[in-house]
Amino acid sequence: MDTLTHEKLMIENARLGDRNRILEAENHWLKEQFKLAQHRQFGSSSEKTSALLQHELVFNEAEATLDSVSEVVEPQTITYTRKGKSEGHRQEILQDLPTEIREYRLPEDEQSCSQCGGAMHEMSSQCRDELVIIPVQVKVIKHVRYVYGCRHCDRNEVSVPIVTAPGPAPLIPKSLASASAVAYIMSQKFVEAMPLYRIEKHFERLGVELSRAVMSNWMLKGGEMLEPVYGRLRERLLEMDILHADETTLQVLKESGRSAQSKSYMWLYRSGRDGPPMVCYEYQPTRDGENPKRFLADFAGYVHVDGYAGYNDIANVRLAGCWAHARRKFMEAVKLLPEEHRGNPENLANIGLEHINKLFEIERDLRDGSGEERKVARLERSKPIVDLFKTWLDETKCGFRS
């Protein structure tokens, strides 16, 4: 074998070796992604780091819940009015609920002592609370407006004045809809996440035939009526200096010019913890970064977001990153480790997770603090951890895939 052929073979061998390493790396990456996809689909959605448990559909939730509690403590509340004892924690739970008092007394002919026959008197009382659920009721309100005419004019004049008693205008003309009915359906659909076919069956069990088409029309009309409220809510939201923003996919059926399989987005903007909670939803057919730019055009301040680049470069906006999203990536890395290595504290994923968990512990301590108290504590306690985390990331960045 001549020298030239040998050199060619060595070059080809090195090229194949490099190609083999690339393919092995790609194969390892694809295995990780497949494993992660399986966990996302079938695994637990919890991000607790104490244990990684496989998800299971629990049919015996009541039994499982009781098994996890050593003892069910539901004491009867007995109050002796003479002693004036506190009724305890249960009364704090029930204090804002409507209360009906039912009193039980002995008949007068039984208020005599069984021993001496003397008259008995009320010396105390015993109180037991009972939670009563009143099921949904459906009833019909007939609005009868009486019409009045003049008998004299009817007999003697050419025209007769007719007066109809005033009554409330219908919520939707020529419809059975009332404000309470529309609000109930919208609440079931958007708050309880019940699809219309289930709400339809729910009404059937109540003896009411109300089709999905009718309920859909009511919800659309209700949405139109709420537009002024939404507009004012958006104005108030944009007056704040701290907001949270996020977007999520959803499916829209029968949208003009788009297939049902097209990916659409619901953008969400909400206020922070200081002040009354306000949330605005905005539907957009795309995830284009122009959507938040347009919505936040009149806003100036901080926006708490994930790492999506669509929120970048918005005028007068300073982005605040979400630690929960950052933590999730380390959690995913831990889940991809072989089970025997998941608890290894020297693993890079566990080290990164430990840094962020310390920040979460501090935030739990500050949950009830004021804004100023949280700021001071974060500068004193959280900033050193963040600085150390940043140094660690800079030192180990070669170990992470970009």
Identify which of 267, 363, 372 has the alpha carbon closest to the alpha carbon of residue 322.
Answer: 363
Of residues 79 and 377, which shows the higher confidence score?
377
**Does 104 reside within a domain?**
no
Q: How much is the pLDDT for 398?
A: 45
Confidence band for 346, pLDDT divided at 50, 70 and 90 = confident
**Residues in the chain, how many?**
402
pLDDT greater than 70 at residue 181? yes
Domain of 267 in residue numbering reads as 240-321
Residue 166 carries which side chain, given as an amino acid letter? P
**Does 42 reside within a domain?**
no
DSSP codes, 70-115:
S----------TTTT----HHHHHHTTS----------GGG-B-TT
Specify whether 216 is located in the same domain as 282: no
Q: Which helix (H) or strand (E) holds 265?
A: strand 264-271
Specify whether 174 is located in the same domain as 204: yes
**Does 31 reside within a domain?**
no
**Does 135 reside within a domain?**
no
Specify whether 219 is located in the same domain as 287: no
Q: What is the pLDDT of residues 83-118, one digit of tens each?
A: 344 456 777 888 888 999 999 999 999 999 988 989
Give pTM, 2 decimals. Answer: 0.68
The single-letter DSSP state of residue 340 is: G
Specify whether 311 is located in the same domain as 245: yes
The mean pLDDT value for 133-154 works out to 92
- Give the list of residues 6+ apart from residue 297 with CB closer than 8 angstroms, or none: 315
Specify whether 315 is located in the same domain as 244: yes
**Does 73 reside within a domain?**
no
Which whole-number Å values give the CA distances from 74 to 62, 71, 375, in the listed order?
Answer: 16, 9, 41
Q: How much is the pLDDT for 182?
A: 96
- Give the list of residues 6+ apart from residue 250 with CB closer than 8 angstroms, or none: 264, 265, 266
The mean pLDDT value for 33-39 works out to 73
Q: Exposed/middle/buried for 203, CB within 10 Å: 0-12, 13-18, 19+? A: buried
Of residues 401 and 293, which shows the higher confidence score?
293
d(CA 229, CA 235): 10
Q: How much is the pLDDT for 68?
A: 62
Number of folded domains that form the chain:
3
pLDDT greater than 70 at residue 305? yes
